[in-house]
Amino acid sequence: MAELTLDSVTKVFNEGGSDEVVAVDDLSMGIEDGEFLVLVGPSGCGKSTTLRMIAGLETVTDGEIRLGERRINDSSPADRDIAMVFQSYALYPHMTVRENMRFGLEESTDMPDDEITEKVESTAAMMGIEELLDRKPGELSGGQQQRVALGRAIVRDPSAFLMDEPLSNLDAKLRATMRTELQRLQADLGVTTVYVTHDQTEAMTMGDRIAVLDDGVLQQIGTPLECYHAPSNRFVAGFIGEPSMNFFPTTRSADTLSAEQFTYPLPAAATDALGDATDITLGVRPEDVGVQPEADASGDHEFECVVDVVEPVGESNNVYLRFAGAPEGETFIATISGMRNVAAGDRVVATIPPSAIHLFDDRTGEALRNRSLADVDGVTLS
Ligand code: ATP
């Protein structure tokens, strides 16, 4: 077991050519011994390339990767003591589960046969796949194949696991079950893990910490709640959270933000955080938008709105609201209890509480102020 360090790691494909791509740009991060780090970001942001460089399947253009104290840039994949699990499972189809699990150990160690047998059987028992040991991959369901692929990685007892969207071929219910199981397993084994996904729910629920990438550049690394409540910039704010944070472009004059459909007086503390910035995006999460039935907005932070669409999710309703007078299609979302009765066409009052707003500088996207957590029980950020 070991910590994993990426020090200014860059990957350029087709360097110098007209089709040059900087897939990973000066990425630095430390993954602690035993930590579960989720690398998340949209398609093409460089997640897989990062993982493949750590695994040794891709060369590093610049920078250094270390496992513990050891620089591994130039070690062969087999010498890195790292196991990788892919979305495609990559099991050998002509081998039984037992042979698939034995294979890595036979190839990469000089462990005696009986020890390999014992290790494979104890790992299979831990993964609940003992009864599958003599089947071939083609005789297994997707979930079982994924379990075997994980078992095959675990049996090698590596210093680190790398997982590239390992659950994405499974149906939603099985994915949720496997998510919990993987987390439990990783915590029990205490093996440093880097897990790649484009799914922010997976990132939020599984990671000790999340690293958010966009266009090859690290945007933020922090606990799921830090990324959720204290995003470093607008990209992270929009990427983490479902439904997404609402964003309103505004212009600031002194302590007031003006948008096309509303003006928003800022609390003093927020004004202080803005410096000389005048083009500000106001952000608020859907669950922080209040919805009252009265069609008479009287407070500073209350706005007359019309309900455009209601999306019932069961325990909650996603209510698409339009500021009174705003054109069709210009909506923002409030998430309210599923027990409340709101219907399209209703006139309501939406509240955007000052304690819940995020403010972003349009020039850089940087968060100038994040929501206050002072009066929120149970959420503390380090
Ligand atoms: P996805 O979620 O779609 O798998 P990703 O975040 O894993 O995306 P990467 O596969 O790491 O993204 O790709 C990052 C960038 O590098 C993309 O622009 C991609 O087109 C480019 N890229 C990846 N592999 C190569 C390659 N072998 N040659 C040239 N460009 C590549």
- Length of the chain equals 382
What tens digit of pLDDT does each residue of 111-140 get? Answer: 888 999 998 998 888 888 889 999 999 999
The H or E element containing residue 79 is none
Give the percent of the chain with pLDDT over 70.
97
Nearest CA to ligand 1 atom 26: 13
- What pLDDT, on a 0 to 100 scale, did the predictor assign at position 270? 86
- What pLDDT, on a 0 to 100 scale, did the predictor assign at position 378? 67
**How far does the centroid of ligand 1 lie from the alpha carbon of residue 13, in Å?**
9
Ligand 1 test: best mutation among 20, 49, 169, 197, most atoms within 8 Å of CB?
Answer: 49
**How far does the centroid of ligand 1 lie from the alpha carbon of residue 213, in Å?**
13
d(CA 2, CA 248): 44
**How far does the centroid of ligand 1 lie from the alpha carbon of residue 40, in Å?**
14
Does 45 contact ligand 1 (Cβ within 6 A)? yes
In this structure, are residues 151 and 101 in contact, taking their beta carbons and an 8 Å threshold? yes
**Residues paired with residue 210 on neighbouring β-strands, in sequence order:** 38, 222
In this structure, are residues 310 and 318 in contact, taking their beta carbons and an 8 Å threshold? yes
What tens digit of pLDDT does each residue of 312-370 get? Answer: 999 999 999 999 888 888 899 999 999 999 999 999 999 999 999 999 999 999 999 99
Examine the pLDDT at 1 and tell me if it is beyond 70. no
**How far does the centroid of ligand 1 lie from the alpha carbon of residue 44, in Å?**
5
Nearest CA to ligand 1 atom 15: 23
Does 354 contact ligand 1 (Cβ within 6 A)? no
Across the chain, mean pLDDT equals 91
Atom of ligand 1 nearest to the CA of 58: 27
Examine the pLDDT at 180 and tell me if it is beyond 90. no
- What pLDDT, on a 0 to 100 scale, did the predictor assign at position 297? 67
- What pLDDT, on a 0 to 100 scale, did the predictor assign at position 157? 83
Examine the pLDDT at 160 and tell me if it is beyond 70. yes
Q: Give SS3 for 277.
A: coil
Q: How confident is the model at residue 89 (pLDDT cuts 50, 70, 90)?
A: low
Does 341 contact ligand 1 (Cβ within 6 A)? no
Q: Give SS3 for 76.
A: coil
Does 66 contact ligand 1 (Cβ within 6 A)? no
Atom of ligand 1 nearest to the CA of 51: 11
In this structure, are residues 294 and 349 in contact, taking their beta carbons and an 8 Å threshold? yes
- What pLDDT, on a 0 to 100 scale, did the predictor assign at position 326? 85
Does 49 contact ligand 1 (Cβ within 6 A)? yes
Pair of tokens at residue 232:
């470093």
Atom of ligand 1 nearest to the CA of 49: 11
The H or E element containing residue 124 is helix 113-127
Q: How many Cα atoms within 13 Å fall on the side-chain side of residue 230?
A: 12
Q: How confident is the model at residue 147 (pLDDT cuts 50, 70, 90)?
A: confident
| Residue 13 Cα to chain centre, angstroms | 25
What tens digit of pLDDT does each residue of 28-77 get? Answer: 999 999 999 999 999 999 999 999 999 999 999 999 999 999 999 999 98
